[in-house]
Amino acid sequence: MSSLQNKIDFVALVSVTRANSNGDPLNGNRPRTDLNGFGEISDVCIKRKIRNRMQDLGKPIFVQSEDRCSDGCGSLSERASAAMKGIKDREEYARHACETWLDVRAFGQVFAFKDAKGFSCGVRGPVSVHQASSLSPVEIESLQITKSVNGEKKEKGENRASDTMGMKHFVRFGLYEIKGSINVQLAEKTGFSEEDADTVKECLRTLFVNDASSARPDGSMEVVKLFWWRHSCKDGQYSSAKVHRSVKVALRDAGTIPTSADDYVISLEALPGLEPEVIDGI
């Protein structure tokens, strides 16, 4: 595979409709928001979804979800030990890890486990993903729910009702912006290739395929647009910040509460010599 030669920047616009885009475990699993009411999706959550899509595409992944484990390993330590058995040189360990797993050569990884007996190895990945934020403040709604049966058998004399209470939280509507970049210098170190970059692009385009749950029903989260810039050089013609800012999103009618992506006007500021590939989500 040919090593990546050109810096890449990307922006994905994602709509969330009556779904929990990323629950906060420290706040009753309510969708994440900042102090000003703008919705947030953590970079860890986004990379988890990218990894899942990589796995769906048949790529070997190191950080696998327990419910998606494909190799029978019960932990990261077990997976690393099975693949890296006998390797003690850090450079060789990092090289072999990058050759073995796509997410390692994309996002990097720290290998430091108890059974390694003091041996540790770190890999810096070329793909960086920002925490996503909504483009307008979001409204969070909560529903009280019940269950119609007992989860456990009632003990004699116990008066526990079957309709135990619970809560579900969701974003009424939000348009979120995901930003990211791929660094060529780090790609050269991990062996991240042009083909790997195309895989990341496809994962972003199809980010919510096979991601449905009760908190995120099918169709409730959608990639509206993906902007993909491939620079003409390793360091980039423009800074990533300037490229990301070139995507302009504004409400059609200022002061209104958006209910769909159609309530926004999406435009691009021209950057001479750098044109993005504009891709619709599925």
H or E element that contains 111: strand 108-112
Q: What is the DSSP letter of 232?
A: S
SS3 content of the chain, % helix, strand, coil (to 5): 25, 35, 40
Q: What is the pLDDT along the chain (282 residues), one digit of tens a residue?
A: 678 999 999 999 999 999 999 999 999 999 999 999 999 999 999 999 999 999 999 999 999 998 899 888 989 999 998 998 888 899 999 999 999 999 999 999 999 887 666 678 999 999 999 999 999 999 999 998 887 776 677 666 666 566 667 889 999 999 999 999 999 999 999 999 999 999 999 999 999 999 999 999 999 999 999 999 999 999 999 999 999 999 999 999 988 999 999 999 999 999 999 999 999 988
165 half-sphere exposure, CB direction, 13 A CA radius: 4
Whether the Cβ atoms of residue 207 and residue 53 lie closer than 8 Å to each other: yes
Write down the H helix ranges in 57-167: 76-83, 90-100, 102-107
| pTM, to two decimals | 0.92
